[in-house]
Structure 1
């Protein structure tokens, strides 16, 4: 086994935050000795989320078994995901921050599935994955991320499952979304559909796209955590992983 030194593009304050989360969790348990101290468990989880290493690779790198690495990572991801803001809380803060509008967009987290797994197949993206709904600010900062649904679920159906339309309407804010949400009605504003549109409708769609695009780039932030570039664990863990990454990204933004 060859070992090497590596680095993570994360601040020390983020490591300190995750270490505190792990330490407080352990204090609530029976206090048994662990194979790794809280700081090393926190670092292992950051490596997993950021670099997407397998549990076998993590175990070898941190000197623990594959099973222990799996248990430590899943434990900490659950703790972080629980700190992700709930929908009502996130929207209330958006209103308090005086945002002019929000951007709603769906993203697909690719998964390692076979062709027979039709419920996970997204016809829009032509691949297997899990559907996540993301609300972002006009500048591209993530406000809220949903749990995971099979990729075959349409974005518009996902908004109804998560109760987004009613919650967004209650804020009084404008919400921009792409053509996949056509038919939702207020408070969503979507581009005009159809071919050979008159010029004023084309101009309206261009303006809509310019306002929407920074917010839609928020989805790319999840892919900075390589673990979500192609998920090889249980597909239904995609939501927990995305929420954990959201919490860490918010910490990084605050630290900078």
Structure 2
């Protein structure tokens, strides 16, 4: 049996340059995180400087560059690049705001409503049992499910941990106790049709969902406007919120 990883006789390894659109602020932020981490663990040496490592990891995360390609182009092993990637992801994860603190901050700033939605980040197929768990029948694609909260202008304030792609929005919301945190912070939420039936309190709903049309029920102009507000997640939020509560 031949080793498929061996290069053919008429091939050679080629290293080429490419241009990636990366924010200088993002690169510096990631490099500073790594410098502080290396100082904290008293690691005095890495084969590449923190700034270069940050660029490599961002190329992998933002532009889906293969680990082996980035390793070969920088004269390091693939396992080293994988370790750098996991290390910096961990450093970024520590900085992520907690849900309760993020909602309290919005409330202190005078906010009354947040926008909630689930999204699927598409990925490649995986082997064995993970392949079925990561397949989303709704999107007909493999990926990871994330639950996001934004303010009234659509700016991200919190994102959940990754879950299998087949996870339903309601399941993720209950797992993260979104209703409890919203009630504690005194906030309401606008949600899309994927969250229908999540909040059973009709008189004072915490999460307000859109209207669904059927063969026997057509939407009124006000209901259509409310659904458009949910779809774009922008002003006039108060107008749409009033329609949804009626």
Common fold by TM > 0.5? yes
Q: CA deviation at 1:71?
A: 0.6
* Distance in 2 (alpha carbons) for counterparts of 1:87 and 1:48: 27
Deviations 1:27-46 (A, max 9, x none): 11232421111111111111
* Distance in 2 (alpha carbons) for counterparts of 1:115 and 1:207: 45
Change (3 A) 1:115 1:19: closer
Q: How many residues align?
A: 214
- The answer to whether the aligner puts 1:197 opposite 2:217 as a matched pair is yes
Larger fraction in helix: 1
Name which of 165, 168, 171 aligns with 2:182: 168
Structure whose alpha-carbon radius of gyration is higher = 2
With a CA cutoff of 8 Å and minimum separation of 6, indicate the structure with the bigger relative contact order.
1
Identify the residue that residue 20 of structure 1 maps to in structure 2: 32
Q: Contact (CA 8 Å) 2:192, 2:231: kept in 1 or not?
A: no
Q: TM-score, with normalisation over the residues of structure 1?
A: 0.76
Q: CA deviation at 1:194?
A: 4.1
- The answer to whether the aligner puts 1:94 opposite 2:77 as a matched pair is no
Change (3 A) 1:181 1:115: farther
Identify the residue that residue 83 of structure 2 maps to in structure 1: 71
Unmatched tracts of structure 1, length 5 or more: 217-256
Unmatched tracts of structure 2, length 5 or more: 1-12, 200-204, 235-246
Q: CA deviation at 1:136?
A: 1.2
146-155 vs 2-11, greater mean Cα deviation? 2-11
Change (3 A) 1:115 1:28: closer
Q: Contact (CA 8 Å) 2:113, 2:152: kept in 1 or not?
A: yes
Change (3 A) 1:76 1:169: same
* Distance in 2 (alpha carbons) for counterparts of 1:158 and 1:40: 36
